[in-house]
Chain A
């Protein structure tokens, strides 16, 4: 997948770019239409009709890149507009669409979080449709990711798993970090527990998949609990300077610390009788 998105970005200036932009325009209008269309009324009905509704939505909003049956679209050069979706599972759709990553607005290095274009029922329908294409991880239930009942022992354990599996990319305070090739692991502030769970389950883009064999469901929940607690903990030491480690600290030392001390030095030296007389140095 790394290869795919690299190719996508490389193609930004290709003759196809115009076509892609046109398609995107269509996709967006389609998405907006879907958003306001009265189709939502049917949601919550039997599975079969949800899948059908999802298919309708998919044809409008996603098929241009992922193909009419989610089989993926290959360009003339053998690269892909969108990968095949059979087997990615409902969890992947819920994460990608629920965090606004899909529908992709413009091919770039990495799909970014943005405004969510579909309402929860539509997302459910899309997920149901994609899940019907092939077996894959399903959307976790609230009991799996809910952190309301976690005790402090579980939280501390979650911290251990967090540091072992995640900080290398996401930083100790979940403030995010850079990856090679213009990619990055995003900051996790404001990410819902459900989406965190799904991210671990499906491993979007550069992120590895943390299957239930590697990180058990209860451990996933502990990780989520730790991150949430860390984010809501007060800043014991004062302003956290972005929790980015020594780089911002060094900047503060120079700008605030040296800046203030030198300013005072200038002030002290200028408050002497002789230099008021205008002795220049």
Chain B
């Protein structure tokens, strides 16, 4: 397989038949071919984690396809009708037209239920894939300059995807979606001052009214998909423009991209992956029930069911709501419901803003303003990795809290104790996760450093003539050493003084002091890669050891051993690794 780097100019196609002429004509006016050629010669590096975003992209395509199918039968109307379709358990029941059409889709349209289920599974997958993709970007530092903007677009996609999912979940007007809309109404009402107006405006009057489903429908199939599509387009354009990041390695620098040309290899792989994602969602749609609206029954404000939960991506604010103590303030006849306002409105807002700003936050801490096209291994940014794991723990605890009822019944636990546990863990867990992850990363860094300086453990135990045992270390390959050392050294500036060099009081000293402390905290425990002198010394040491042995005397001068080497010429396995024989091409060394 040839590897290509991005060229600057595109080759001109020789045009000699009619088609080519037409193409040239078009190209002369539109300039498409030149543009396309350049893009076709784009190169994508290869690593499985680079395909996580593709899962999201392809599940979005599946959503567009299946969603279009659903619109052909779905009726976004809250007009009351009497069900007369083929599902007997609801025949004769009064319901909204929206719910009726969802039942019609499920039971009377060929393939309708399958399409609904694929649509819903793909929605769950879409957002899950975005989240995993986000974690990969964060862990590898792919969000650093110049890609901050694409991170921001990605975060917006996550937010809008969640909203899109919520509006879709609300459409069929079954008991669960109605309960969800009602909860959303309650959340809006919890916003001080403007809440009531917002709610009134959204529902076109009092909850539930007749407008909400048609409005959500417009948002769900037109407004939000439109914005999503535009943002996804911008996301991909920026990706092509910036070129893909890559893992460091021999031949890969901050200025090139090593990988496959877009055509044909990468396109074939990506195209194939579309069918895999489609296949996965189709299989899930065919094998597992999702959102069985017929079992929930039509929405009726007087009813509610156990197991009313939002889809998983709304689970974490729901969990926060479930563990929030019941705080309310009564002021001049108004009630401020902190118990709803804080977990549902403030918390997600704060978390989302934090996610959106993460690249800028990190750049502020590290002071790193350079462009980065090489990725970092998670262990080489211990504090960043630990921060993500802490955030994941926070998310995970809240997530688990939103399933507290099922945990209680399935593990025979007391609902109240689960709540107390979560109230504590939501604060303690992330801190613990941060500390553990950071120490873990630092240990891994230390292991890398040892590997560079002392080589890898060959697994060969040597026994010296005096009976001492030692494991033989052998130097790692140059490629690996390159990969391990392809990272930056951190230089911490001295703490800013209260006065600058001219003796003038430093106005910004306080901000700078904070920043210095944060940066110190961020980096101070990192294990640096060995310096050039350290490496040279280590190599020199190894060579010295070998050279002494070459003359037939072991490197054990103190004891003055001068006898023959009993093992010489003996075909004992591993003997060849004693440092006195040529081991190039040895089978046992494979893979190091």
Contact = CB atoms under 8 A, between A and B. Distances in A.
B138 to A, nearest CB: 17
Contacts of A264: 273, 276, 280
A253 interface: yes
A265 B52 contact: yes
Interface string A223-258: 000100110010111111101111111111110111
B89 A265 contact: no
A42 B406 CA distance: 47
B395 interface: no
Interface in A16-53: none
B89 A233 contact: yes
B541 interface: no
A233 B336 CA distance: 46
A17 B51 CA distance: 60
Interface string A172-207: 110111111110110000000000000000000000
A229 B89 contact: yes
A236 B408 contact: no
A188 to B, nearest CB: 12
Contacts of B176: 245-246
Interface stretch (A56-64, A83-91, A113-121, A148-156): A148-156
A168 B89 contact: no
A238 B306 CA distance: 22
Interface in B117-151: 117, 120-121, 124-125, 128-129, 132
Given A153-B92, A167-B303, A172-B296, A269 B51 contact: yes
A132 interface: no
Question: Binding site of B, secondary structure by majority: helix, strand, loop or mixed?
Answer: helix
Interface stretch (A94-102, A135-143, A273-281): A273-281
A169 B273 CA distance: 44
A3 interface: no
Question: Binding site of A, secondary structure by majority: helix, strand, loop or mixed?
Answer: helix
A147 to B, nearest CB: 13
Interface in B247-287: 247, 249, 260, 265, 269, 272-273, 276-277, 280-281, 284, 286-287
Contacts, number: 230
Interface in B469-483: 480, 483
A75 interface: no
A272 B258 CA distance: 13
A218 interface: no
A272 B307 CA distance: 46
Chain B interface residue bracket vs A: 35 or more
Given A257-B124, A261-B125, A163 B415 contact: no
A181 B409 CA distance: 11
B308 interface: yes
A236 B416 contact: no
Given A257-B125, A257-B280, A258-B132, A268 B273 contact: yes
Contacts of B93: 156, 159-160
B90 A266 contact: no
A207 to B, nearest CB: 13
A250 B295 contact: no
Given A178-B405, A230-B89, A236 B289 contact: yes
B570 interface: no
A262 B409 contact: no
A245 to B, nearest CB: 4
Given A152-B91, A253-B125, A281-B247, A247 B303 contact: no
B48 A265 contact: yes
Interface in B89-124: 89-93, 106-107, 113, 117, 120-121, 124
B414 A169 contact: no
A213 interface: no
Given A164-B302, A238-B287, A265-B52, A280 B480 contact: yes
B199 interface: no
Contacts of A253: 121, 124-125, 128, 284, 312
Given A265-B55, A279-B249, A239 B289 contact: yes
A5 interface: no
B348 interface: no
Contact of B48 (A169, A171, A250, A268): A268
A55 interface: no
Contacts of B300: 163-164
A249 B1 contact: no
B88 interface: yes
B408 A249 contact: no
A172 B125 contact: no
B550 interface: no
Contacts of B412: 182
A230 B47 CA distance: 48
22 contacts: A159-B89, A163-B297, A167-B175, A171-B307, A172-B307, A178-B406, A180-B415, A229-B88, A236-B113, A236-B292, A241-B289, A243-B307, A256-B280, A256-B284, A257-B124, A257-B125, A257-B281, A261-B280, A264-B276, A265-B273, A269-B46, A280-B480
Given A157-B92, A241-B290, A274-B3, 7 more contacts: A168-B306, A172-B175, A178-B415, A181-B415, A236-B106, A238-B289, A270-B48
Closest 3 CB pairs of A and B: A177-B306, A250-B312, A237-B289
